[in-house]
Structure 1
Amino acid sequence: MDILPVNTGLQEQAVKKPIAGKILVGITGGVAIGLTAICAPFVSPALRKFCLPYIPATNEQIKNILNALKGRTGTVLDLGSGDGRIVLETAKKKFISHGVELNPWLVAYSKFDAFRKGLSDKTNFYRKDLWKYDISKYDNVVIFGVEQMMGDLEKKILKECKSDCNIIACRFPLPNMVPSKVIGHGIDTVWVYDCKKS
């Protein structure tokens, strides 16, 4: 004769609790991995030789850059292009505009924004390290740098830029080159340099 166990409902609860716990751990782990993947490109600049954080350009800075480009033509390169706003604004002014940015999320956003605004044919965005990107083919170069990197950036400019290149430094000037123009004041100041080689 078989003895049937009495079902008290405890066995069913015991089975449900581990499954619910595993689902909760899986969801929490997935959210943590997703947040890490999104946040890491914004935090990692602090771990490089020069911490170049993402700080969007102000409307006044954009206006000053466009003023610095008056009378210029050709190509524009924004080194550390962030969300692409400088590239898009210069493209609206008939420049062929490129942006170089290491953060993949900002590159993706910039490409999407260019497409949304109908500027994809006048813009390109590259996920590259600005120190390894060749700037020799550009007519105009814009950089939003930090003070600690401007000396090394000046060396790169003098080594790579063509003789008629126009350099626009924002937030901090280049340490040794003499600007041909200074536009604006405070955080919105831009320094314009003629990259003439002897």
Structure 2
Amino acid sequence: MQQEPQKRSRRGLILLGITGTSLFGIYAVVVPFVVPAFRKHCLPFVPATPRQLLTVMRHLKCPKRSPNSSSVVDLGSGDGRLVIAAARRGFDAVGFELNPWLVWYSRLVAWRLGVSKLARFYRQDLFRAPLTRFDNVVIFGVDGIMGDIEEMVVRDARPGTRVLACRFGLPTLVCDAKHGRGVDSVWIYDIRASAKE
């Protein structure tokens, strides 16, 4: 008779353990996707469309000095698809992403595809990304952050850098070209020394 309450108690503890572990797992996965919505600069993860990727890849700048040494940075790299596509074409490609799950996922995919030496991912706020060493800067932004992105690019990118703004253009810089329409729009800016004055 005494074993029945012990069995119930053990089942209750097991159920409590399973529930607690499940809640912790859900919390650990969901929080990195939700917390960015409460930051000053909200940039949700929205995967790039195949058309956007194709347009960006067509317009990445390859310096004449050495086509194999061109570099690309994706600010807010999400699942890493642009960085990996650029690495597969021989670019030295870097992605900065705040969500740790997306960083680890991107690293895993790059490793699986054999491009982990050219495609590197870092967990970092995109507004702290060092831009001076890159030939190409890509941002899949939202309207509310493009003014701050423009300030950062004008301040930090060296003359000759190509900026590809996807979905939304930079508010005051005059673009050199625009391709696509709607969510597939890509604005192309070549940073000149005069933009820094």
TM superposition score category, shorter chain reference = over 0.9
> Do the aligned residues in 2 keep the contact of 1:179 with 1:192 (CA within 8 Å)?
yes
Any gaps of 5 or more consecutive residues in structure 2?
A: none
1:94-148 Cα deviation digits (max 9, x unpaired) = 1100000000000001001001001011111010011112111111000011100
Structure 1 window deviating more from structure 2 (131-140 vs 152-161): it is: 131-140
> Do the aligned residues in 2 keep the contact of 1:83 with 1:107 (CA within 8 Å)?
yes
Any gaps of 5 or more consecutive residues in structure 1?
A: 1-8
- Aligned pairs (5 A) from 1:34-183: 34-69=25-60, 71-72=62-63, 73=67, 74-183=70-179
Match of 1:95, as an amino acid? F
Mapped to 1, the partners of 2:37 and 2:59 lie a distance apart of: 30
SS in structure 2 at match of 1:121: coil
Instruction: Give the aligned CA root-mean-square deviation in angstroms.
Output: 1.1
TM-score for both structures, normalised by structure 2: 0.93
**Shift of residue 71, structure 1, vs aligned partner:** 4.8
Report which of the two structures shows the higher radius of gyration computed on alpha carbons: 1
Identity of aligned residues (%): 45
Mapped to 1, the partners of 2:61 and 2:120 lie a distance apart of: 22
Match of 1:99, as an amino acid? G
Aligned length in residues: 189
Q: Report runs of 4+ in structure 1 exceeding 6 Å deviation.
A: none
**Shift of residue 70, structure 1, vs aligned partner:** 5.8
Match of 1:62, as an amino acid? L
Match of 1:47, as an amino acid? F
> Do the aligned residues in 2 keep the contact of 1:163 with 1:195 (CA within 8 Å)?
yes
TM-score for both structures, normalised by structure 1: 0.93
Match of 1:4 in 2: none
> Do the aligned residues in 1 keep the contact of 2:75 with 2:96 (CA within 8 Å)?
yes
